[in-house]
Copies of this chain bind each other. A is one copy, B any other.
Amino acid sequence: MDTITIKDIARALNISTSTVSRALRDSYEINPETKRLVTEYAERLNYRPNPIALSLKENRSRVIGVIVPQIANNFFSQVINGIEAIAYNRGYHVIIFQSHESYEREMLTVQQAVARRADGLLISLASGTHDVTYLRALQEKKLPIVLFDRISKDLDTLSVTADNFGGAFAATEHLIKAGRQRIVHLTMPAHISVTQERLAGYRAALEQYGLVYDENLVRYGQFGPDEVESIVDELLKLSPDAFFAAGDRLAIGCLSALKKRNVAIPETVSLIGFTNITVADLLAPAMTTVEQPSLEIGQLAAEQLINLIEGKKTTAPPTSLKIPTQLIVRASSQS
């Protein structure tokens, strides 16, 4: 891949590289004629400045590193979509890294991103991550970091999340108002921030409506398809009258299990983060869902990070940004 440089232009036009540079950068006092010559020639040869040389000189890469647990996931791929939209608008490129939910891999990929001289990092923590001191170290080295979705209170950064508390509260409240009293809460591993926030919303709603919180109705884990089956079996013995699954895959697994068992509950499941409305419609016409603003999370997070990188005022104190969720209540299609 042979590329044309400023040198080539200088040689061809019998002028110095600095003149070429000036002409192209439209910088001060330059002979209009020279400028014309240079720009025309550059145009003709389709000259593009080498961003790598620029990076070296300016000590910045105009690249932001994004670390997610996994790419092949509806939520994260939409967040990335949002990130990309903003980043490209502001002249940044995005390099994606996956932690595969592992603490070790997360550390490694963060190292990689740092080695690549990413100008800043956008991270959603792996479920295996309990310790963020390695991130704190980077922060102290002035590397801009913004956490999103899976955040940590142990790290004093800007963070962008959905309003998980509010969403879970609304979903639970909706079920209660529909007469449900024994609402199962199927959720992710306990230590993840998202889990805690959603659980808190669930509890708050129960409390507000004078229902008891029964911890037997709450199950944690990133249940694989089979696992959910047995969990649901166990739960059914406790005669619940509604299921609130706090995540896409949990909800799908749950629906699948219930369907196999021919459990017919008109409005069993409410879930957070199911982004494909068409599928939700098909799966359970009467299902209520909490739509997670994945695109917006990505956009806002990217915007905040770039502001940080460029030293602009951030939106001040409120270091923890929450984007509202939307409760979507589907009318039962069958009589």
Q: Give residues 81-112 of A contacting B (CB, 8 Å).
A: 81, 84, 93-96, 98, 111-112
Q: A279-B252, A279-B279, A282-B255 are in contact. Are A71 and B84 (CB under 8 A)?
A: yes
Q: Looking at the assembled complex, report how far the CB atom of A185 sits from the nearest CB atom of chain B, in whole angstroms.
A: 21
- Provide the bound-state CA to CA distance between A117 and B50, in Å: 7
- Provide the bound-state CA to CA distance between A281 and B78, in Å: 24
Q: A52-B61, A116-B51 are in contact. Are A283 and B283 (CB under 8 A)?
A: yes
Q: A78-B72, A94-B96, A142-B1 are in contact. Are A48 and B281 (CB under 8 A)?
A: no
- Provide the bound-state CA to CA distance between A257 and B225, in Å: 27
For A283, the chain B residues whose CB sits under 8 A away are 279, 282-283
For A55, the chain B residues whose CB sits under 8 A away are 52
Interface string of A121-137 (1 = CB under 8 A from B): 00000000000000000
- Provide the bound-state CA to CA distance between A194 and B188, in Å: 38
Q: Are A93 and B95 in contact (CB under 8 A)?
A: yes
Q: Looking at the assembled complex, report how far the CB atom of A220 sits from the nearest CB atom of chain B, in whole angstroms.
A: 20
For A255, the chain B residues whose CB sits under 8 A away are 282
- Provide the bound-state CA to CA distance between A142 and B3, in Å: 10
Kindly state whether residue A70 has any CB partner on chain B within 8 Å. Answer: yes
For A142, the chain B residues whose CB sits under 8 A away are 1-2
Known: A48-B114, A50-B56. 6 other contacts (CB 8 A): A56-B56, A71-B81, A72-B77, A72-B78, A80-B96, A84-B98
